[in-house]
């Protein structure tokens, strides 16, 4: 890897279990700046669990996550957002009186939308 351009996101050996159920096992993923990637898989493949780890809703049992080359602990939603991670849920409920952009940043502290700062 060229150290001048670190991965925007790099997860190495990420695992998560719920009791005897292994939801993620030794997951590795690397994203370069500007790269777009889709998470695809069967039901139960761990897609939602991985997104929850990135969004700070749950923490991994094992492994590391790095943003721009720096290892981070995404133990809370605020920590995840501070690291630049935003998640738009598949089954997203919108507020009809808000614009699309305003709905996308709904609930994100400090997010900007058309110059206005979200609460």
Residues 71, 37: one domain? yes
Residues 60, 46: one domain? yes
Residues 78, 94: one domain? no
**Tokens standing for residue 26:** 């030794």
Per-residue model confidence as pLDDT tens digits over 76-112:
989 998 898 887 766 667 788 888 888 777 766 555 5
Residues 66, 99: one domain? no
DSSP 4-58: TS--SEEEEEEEEEETTEEEEEEEEEEE-TT--------TTSSHHHHHHHHHTSS
Residues 56, 112: one domain? no
Residues 78, 99: one domain? no
Residue 30, pLDDT > 50, answer yes
**Stretch among 11-15, 40-44, 81-85, 86-90 having the lowest mean pLDDT:** 86-90
Q: What is the pTM of this model?
A: 0.72
Distance of alpha carbon 100 from alpha carbon 30, whole angstroms? 29
Note the pLDDT of residue 36: 85
Residue 22, pLDDT > 90, answer yes
The CATH number of residue 68's host domain is 3.40.50.300
Residues 28, 72: one domain? yes
Residues 103, 58: one domain? no
Residues 41, 13: one domain? yes
Q: What is the three-class DSSP state of 113?
A: strand
Mean of the per-residue pLDDT values for the chain? 84
Mean pLDDT within 57-80: 94
What residues are paired with 66 via a beta bridge?
10, 71
Residues 17, 72: one domain? yes
Q: Which domain covers residue 79, as residue numbers?
A: 1-83
Mean pLDDT within 37-42: 89
**Stretch among 25-39, 69-83, 100-114 having the lowest mean pLDDT:** 100-114
């Amino acid at each position: 890897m060229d150290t001048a351009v670190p991965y925007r996101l790099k997860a190495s050996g990420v695992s998560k279990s719920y009791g005897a159920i292994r939801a993620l096992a030794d997951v590795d993923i690397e994203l370069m700046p500007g790269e777009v990637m889709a998470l695809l898989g069967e039901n139960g493949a761990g897609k939602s669990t991985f997104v929850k780890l990135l969004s700070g809703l749950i923490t991994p049992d094992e492994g590391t996550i790095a943003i721009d080359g720096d290892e981070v602990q995404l133990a809370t939603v605020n920590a995840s957002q501070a690291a630049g991670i935003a998640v738009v849920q598949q089954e997203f409920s919108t507020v009809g009186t808000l614009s699309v952009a305003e709905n996308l940043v709904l609930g994100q502290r400090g997010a900007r939308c058309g110059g206005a700062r979200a609460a």
